[in-house]
Structure 1
Amino acid sequence: MQQTILDRVEPVAEGTVSLVLRGAEGPLAPWEPGAHIDLALPNWLTRQYSLCGDPADRGSYRVAVRHDRLSRGGSEYIHLFLRAGRSLEVSLPRNNFPLLSAPEYLFLAGGIGITPMMPMLAAAVASGASARLVYVGRSLAAMPFAAELRATHGDRVRVHATDEHGRPDFAALAAGLGPQALVYCCGPASMLDAAEAAFPAQGLHLERFQPVAKEFAPNEPFEVNCVRSGRTVAVAAEESLLDALRHAGFPVQSGCREGVCGSCEIGVVGGEPEHRDDIGAAPGRMYCCVSRASSRLDLDL
């Protein structure tokens, strides 16, 4: 974890504030476009937010937080109680949504999904690639950073307020792309579903706020062998691997507990996990908040 001081809390749209976190002990850890951090709040909750500042600025991180009407305590606390000057712990940045090299990009953002797209668009433009952003929101007043983006990138940015213009035509956007174009999309589930229907899967990269509903076989109990510690942990059918490990004294980090943030990633050195996350675990890795196994696993713990 890294120690920061909350330098500024600034309204950036209706219902959204920007937080600027300054490193309390020197430069902060480097990051690349698409990365996010875990923010440990004073009310004992931890939440994940995409970094939306400048990766070249090692002195501070910037995130934006929308006040969710169905808040589980994170965004509500930030909007109602968090004030500048507060010391806050943040994780090292993680990137489950990296920007790959391409000659052409189309970035699609919905609402607060604009946050990872801001450094992505800047990096794509700096690389010399053809890059466009279509930014969708219910109204201009509710769209954070819209003016900043248009001032910085001009005609590359199309701000699309649905209360005035309806929804953008993704099929028409797809028809105008070259064969090597990559499409990055972050926003509400309805927007991601529309993007999946309109754009070729091989060129489409999505980041979800919530997991996709899936069906799995009923949970079965299983055991994990923690290789480095020489311990065996039993996982009951009604508990997650994450909870079993933490109850056994292993300090595995966690955030979303839904398989979308990546904070609970652990190493697998034997056996076959049943992956249930929405990230796509690399070989030899798993996300233990949702993923399980049907037989014994050997873990790097």
Structure 2
Amino acid sequence: MKLLLDSKDTIADGVVLLTLRDPDGLPLPSWTPGAHVDLVLADGLIRQYSLCGDPSDTSVLRVAVLREQPGRGGSRHVHDVLTAGQRIEVLGPRNHFPLVEAGRYLFIAGGIGITPILPMIEQVAAAGHDWRLVYGGRTRASMAFLAELERHDNVEIRPQDEHGLLDLPAVFADVDDDTAVYCCGPEPLLAAVEQHRTTGSLHVERFAPKAGATDGPRQEFEVELAQTGGVLRVPADRSILEVLEGSGVPVLSSCQEGTCGTCETPVLSGTPDHRDSLLSDDERQQGDVMMICVSRALSDRLVLDL
């Protein structure tokens, strides 16, 4: 869908908030906390950004974008090229980071990782659930949405230049297994949280691949395309995505590192070798979807719904 960039506002150091709406005022697709959209910024440049507005407001979609230095060009395009009044192709919304039912919640956000967390805490707060947010960042000026968050008593703002790194042993000191823990932010924070949360419910969303996620033996296998009956050979030195693109099969992709979910593809038969940093352990065991940009096969052939 082509949406109008209604406004672009700086909301923190290096962070802009994009507000998108239908050019004809039509309602936009519904979404749930944790969802993201893909912005098609230029030919071959597709980037994912978490929705950070109000899910009940179908008149607009809002995303916040941090200028990444260095980056792969997406955030620079958003900051330097996009202007209010432009029309942008938007794909989605899709949700790989859904909010589950729980007795209580602990939210941990680092920097721009606050974006998917923001609508989550609004939902659990409105429902009267027991929750707590610990929000870290480099400096207070670099941390988006502070005004919205500081109206809650159970939000802890911890800029690194004032408090140092987040004290995770203290954060987890009284967290039991019935607490759903949600974390989004840079990889060092996610890795540290995973070390502290070894039991109970933990949900993370990554901006970069998990260390070692794509490691492992690389063998040849076949991919059968169920919709056409075609069979393609995937050599050891190429990904499924590369083989499909080289054969003219239209597929969407973006990060090409197993973090965004754009290339998620249904698996009809065969056993995937999951090497993404997105699917949960349960989703991997089910084996009915895979990220074809990085994942491979444990069986001789995969049948994909393509």
Q: Give structure 2 stretches of 5+ with no counterpart.
A: none
Q: Give structure 1 stretches of 5+ with no counterpart.
A: none
- In structure 2, the partner of 1:293 is 297
The answer to whether the Cα contact below 8 Å between 2:36 and 2:94 also exists between their aligned partners in 1 is: yes
Letter in 2 for 1:292: R
Measure, in 2, the Cα distance between the counterparts of 1:285 and 1:241: 13
Measure, in 2, the Cα distance between the counterparts of 1:100 and 1:56: 18
- In structure 2, the partner of 1:125 is 125
The Cα of 1:246 is off from its aligned counterpart by 2.0
Aligned residue pairs, count:
298
The Cα of 1:213 is off from its aligned counterpart by 2.1
**What SS is found at the alignment partner of 1:92?**
strand
Within-5 A mapping of 1:175-190: 175-190=173-188
- In structure 2, the partner of 1:75 is 75
Letter in 2 for 1:235: V
The Cα of 1:24 is off from its aligned counterpart by 2.9
Measure, in 1, the Cα distance between the counterparts of 2:87 and 2:259: 27
Measure, in 2, the Cα distance between the counterparts of 1:231 and 1:178: 51
Structure 1 residues 45, 126: CA separation in 2 closer, same or farther (over 3 Å shift)? same
- In structure 2, the partner of 1:224 is 223
The answer to whether the Cα contact below 8 Å between 2:18 and 2:63 also exists between their aligned partners in 1 is: yes
Structure 1 residues 43, 228: CA separation in 2 closer, same or farther (over 3 Å shift)? closer
| Residue 57 of structure 2 corresponds to residue 60 of structure 1 | no
- State the TM-score, normalizing by the size of structure 2: 0.93
Q: Match for 1:194 among 192, 195, 205? A: 192
The Cα of 1:130 is off from its aligned counterpart by 0.6
Within-5 A mapping of 1:202-213: 202-213=200-211
- In structure 2, the partner of 1:31 is 31
**What SS is found at the alignment partner of 2:149?**
helix
Measure, in 1, the Cα distance between the counterparts of 2:177 and 2:70: 41
- In structure 1, the partner of 2:110 is 110
Measure, in 1, the Cα distance between the counterparts of 2:206 and 2:199: 16
The answer to whether the Cα contact below 8 Å between 1:104 and 1:178 also exists between their aligned partners in 2 is: no
**What SS is found at the alignment partner of 1:168?**
coil
Q: Which moved more, 1:81-90 or 1:279-288?
A: 279-288
Letter in 1 for 2:172: A
The Cα of 1:178 is off from its aligned counterpart by 4.1
- In structure 2, the partner of 1:250 is 249
Q: Write out the 4+ residue segments of structure 1 that deviate beyond 6 Å after TM superposition.
A: none
Percent identity, aligned pairs only, is 47
Q: Report the RMSD for the aligned CA atoms in angstroms.
A: 1.5
The answer to whether the Cα contact below 8 Å between 1:22 and 1:61 also exists between their aligned partners in 2 is: yes
- In structure 2, the partner of 1:41 is 41
Measure, in 2, the Cα distance between the counterparts of 1:247 and 1:32: 35
The answer to whether the Cα contact below 8 Å between 1:269 and 1:298 also exists between their aligned partners in 2 is: yes
Letter in 2 for 1:92: G
- In structure 1, the partner of 2:167 is 169
